[in-house]
Structure 1
């Protein structure tokens, strides 16, 4: 009889373990479904903003604008860090899409892979160092010439992001802006 009662306890314990496993499995299934829905909702939010695509153009301004748009978008939709690359790479086209398709596994396997590393890798590929130097030089030589103040300002802002070492502080930025103005305007500013 003692044996029968022991089997009964073992049976009850086993039933309890099975019940708990079923509850855990059920919770995991719910979480999985909720995460899938959350990811789908995030993707819808991103798509509704109609983000730009990037084709791998050799113009670094196009690349930087594309990355900046996604930075703003990710802030607006509160995109979690682990979803940023997936959302952005959907908007790669042409050469950029082929590059990502061929290098995705290798890049994602790098230690510490996140959105910032993705940006570095895209820049390494589509904005090589010789172009970086070229843009920095273009900024260094920027002068107002025959441009209007608004045109000069727009060009200054556009190129300043390619030469951050020249405009590391607001004071340095103001000095560089002023040095590119026409002599007449510089004289008026100094007065």
Structure 2
């Protein structure tokens, strides 16, 4: 049986040239990726953002701020995970720098023994917290985190800032975003929680935005009630003033008549006499200038004197 003849190639010179161009482009991409993985170029990318140095002293919150800064930088430049710790330790100074120089070999060896190819950034942050934040402080702040509640004097922004600072002390517990979000929502005041939209929160920032919106609505309701109360007080003051003015005008228009009757009311006989200053006349003897109760008249050789308790005869 005669051997089979090889099938002639159907690729044209144009197809071959196109494939060569594609291979060259792929090689450039691979080369570019290798260049991006170069530690010196990654270090230059980090340096452009001028990250702070951490010295291992001061308030515990300084460490949290330093770690968050590198979190953001590594995300922005897409820093490879295996390079993140090496880039961060370059910015350790004084106490922290001396600690790393002394312990870096031991730390790396411990992770290699646990079959980890490198020390991850997350694990390194936990080591830093355990090293530079004393245990008694971490225990105290974790207790505050577990019992944290928003007070009436706090704004939602205040509550969010305090909560995020406390969350630094439980970072080594590796709570996921949903757990932290539910814990933050739990600590809000009842007045805020009542106004939150329905739904299971997925991040702390989501709850923060929803709570901020609820707080604005609450403030609007309070302001509206305040304005209504102010309008009501002003209306009552105007009505009270009108009633007082009407009463004063009525008193000014009161005119007494000669028989003791007043326009718009009535008066006693005595009030009428005092109002018009009528002269006093004794109805017993008919003389003017005294009353019958004080009249002294000699009758049948006796004088009769009237007093306030009745009359009596005397010789």
What is the TM-score when the length of structure 2 is the normalising length? 0.42
How many residue pairs get aligned? The number is: 153
Q: Cα–Cα, structure 1 residues 143 and 109, in superposed 2: closer, same or farther, change >3 Å? A: same
In structure 1, what is the Cα distance between the partners aligned to 2:139 and 2:155? Answer: 26
Post-superposition CA distance 1:5-33 (Å, at most 9, x none): xxxxxxxxxxxxxxxxxxxxxxxxxx8xx
Matched ranges for 1:43-54 at <5 A: 43-54=43-54
The structure with more helix, counted as a fraction of residues: 1
In structure 1, what is the Cα distance between the partners aligned to 2:93 and 2:79? Answer: 22
Q: Does residue 1:96 correspond to 2:96, yes or no?
A: yes
**1:106 match: secondary structure:** helix
**2:189 match: secondary structure:** helix
In structure 1, what is the Cα distance between the partners aligned to 2:37 and 2:186? Answer: 51
Q: 2:162 aligns with which of 155, 163, 166?
A: 155
Structure 1 residue runs without a partner (length 5+): 1-30, 180-184
Matched ranges for 1:166-181 at <5 A: 168=179, 170-178=181-189
On the 8 A contact 1:81/1:114 being kept in 2, the answer is no
Q: Which moved more, 1:152-161 or 1:63-72?
A: 152-161
Q: Cα–Cα, structure 1 residues 73 and 54, in superposed 2: closer, same or farther, change >3 Å? A: same
**Structure number with higher relative contact order (C-alpha < 8 Å, ≥ 6 residues apart):** 1
Q: Root-mean-square deviation (CA), in Å? A: 3.1
Structure 2 residue runs without a partner (length 5+): 1-30, 197-217, 219-315
Match of 2:76 in 1: 76
Q: Cα–Cα, structure 1 residues 99 and 63, in superposed 2: closer, same or farther, change >3 Å? A: same
In structure 1, what is the Cα distance between the partners aligned to 2:41 and 2:104? Answer: 24
Q: Cα–Cα, structure 1 residues 118 and 163, in superposed 2: closer, same or farther, change >3 Å? A: closer
What is the TM-score when the length of structure 1 is the normalising length? 0.66
Match of 2:134 in 1: 128
Q: Cα–Cα, structure 1 residues 109 and 74, in superposed 2: closer, same or farther, change >3 Å? A: same
Matched ranges for 1:32-51 at <5 A: 38-51=38-51
On the 8 A contact 1:53/1:93 being kept in 2, the answer is yes
Q: CA deviation at 1:108?
A: 1.4
